[in-house]
A and B are shown apart, each in its own frame.
Chain A
Amino acid sequence: MTTFYERLTGKNRSATQAKDRLRLVLINDRSGLSALELEEIKNEIMQVLSRHMEIDPATVKVQMKQDGREQRLIADIPIRTTQRRKIG
């Protein structure tokens, strides 16, 4: 059963679900990458970067985005501020 709020916002409407599901399916179809492979890529990127800087794995986002007919891999990786050495 959908709640009144869900019906009002259209969040749980079947068309919204169809669109959200299609968005993910098309990204996988076009790139040939599954969600699992994307997760692997994310982990490998983090391994490389964490050798050079400090990263909080919980904040890292690696996503495939649709840009017209093109796909874009967007990585958003916040870097922890390194402790500044006290001078003097």
Chain B
Amino acid sequence: MSAKAITISSGKGGVGKTTATANLAVALASLNQKVVCIDGDIGLRNLDVVMGLENRIVYDLVDVIEGRCRLRQAMIRDKRMPELHLIPAAQTRDKSSVSPSDMVKLVEELRPELDWILIDSPAGIERGFRNAIAPADEVIIITNPEVSAVRDADRIIGMIEAEEKGPARLIINRLNPTLIKHGDMLSADDVLELLAIELLGIIPEDEAVVISTNRGTPVALDEKNPASRAFHNIARRLMGETIPLLEFEGKSDFLGRLSSLFK
């Protein structure tokens, strides 16, 4: 067994990297996959709170790299899922405590025992981002249908290409079908046309994500709501299945605009 390492990146902060990492990890684990997610945001860790595992941290990523503990000791097992683990980031250190080659070494050590290694990249294009993409077999770009997020995604896609880690695939997060219908949000097609990369999935805006994050129970643990279904579909696409897109793409068509005139 040799795990596939996937880094989730976006350039811009706040587009949903951490939420996507947590939920894709849960969705993959629900398909009986052995998954470890690594929080790559040293100094600003958050994957632990999003997953609801913040009270169980003893050792972190930097402890492993600096040899204060064994790799196994820093892997927190998620009790809700049989084969889901988190390696948290250090909170009191900064990005320079880890190098790209440290990350490559760590991931190589993890690979034999797992199916998937998901790395949550920090925002920005500096050291933390370089660390996060160094061990990646594939990079997933996450963006929102907004000018600033799409612009930053384009920069990251260019850098991934330059690092020969491409082609990256895209997740469009927080899509609002009603706004698209009214012509007030970029549609998935618009974003794809601008960025010209392969689409991996679309996550609709869903208040269930906010609520589940408040509780520390990733939305993908409960499969009923739209965002959760979208994450589970992406996980199955990562596994190589062909799953059609959900119906909330909300194209900005003539009829949609016509009907919005009379609202």
B194→A68 contact, CB < 8 A: no
The answer to whether the Cβ of B252 comes within 8 Å of any Cβ in the partner chain is yes
Question: A66-B196, A69-B197 are contacts. A16–B147 as well, Cβ < 8 Å?
Answer: no
Q: Which residue from chain A places its CB closest to the CB of B182 in the assembled complex?
A: A13
User: Complex: how many Å from CA A13 to CA B150?
Assistant: 18
User: Complex: how many Å from CA A69 to CA B254?
Assistant: 28
Chief secondary structure at chain B's binding surface:
helix
The answer to whether the Cβ of B151 comes within 8 Å of any Cβ in the partner chain is yes
CB interface residues, B 182-222, toward A, < 8 Å: 182-187, 190, 193-194, 196-197
A14→B157 contact, CB < 8 A: no
B155→A18 contact, CB < 8 A: no
Residues of B within 8 A of A69 (CB): 157, 161, 196-197
- The number of inter-chain residue pairs (CB within 8 angstroms) is 61
Question: A26-B154, A30-B158, A68-B196 are contacts. A19–B190 as well, Cβ < 8 Å?
Answer: yes
Residues of B within 8 A of A22 (CB): 147, 150-151, 186, 194
A19→B194 contact, CB < 8 A: yes
Q: Which residue from chain B places its CB closest to the CB of A12 in the assembled complex?
A: B183
Residues of B within 8 A of A16 (CB): 183
B258→A14 contact, CB < 8 A: no
> Taking each of A7, A13, A15, A21, which has the highest tally of chain B beta carbons within 10 Å of its own beta carbon?
A15
Residues of A within 8 A of B197 (CB): 69
B194→A26 contact, CB < 8 A: yes
Q: Which residue from chain B places its CB closest to the CB of A19 in the assembled complex?
A: B190
Question: A15-B186, A68-B196 are contacts. A10–B154 as well, Cβ < 8 Å?
Answer: no
Q: Which residue from chain B places its CB closest to the CB of A69 in the assembled complex?
A: B196
The answer to whether the Cβ of A29 comes within 8 Å of any Cβ in the partner chain is yes
A 1-30 to B, binary, CB cutoff 8 A, 1 in contact else 0 = 000100111100111101101110110011
Interfacial residues, chain A to chain B (CB-CB below 8 A): 4, 7-10, 13-16, 18-19, 21-23, 25-26, 29-30, 66, 68-69
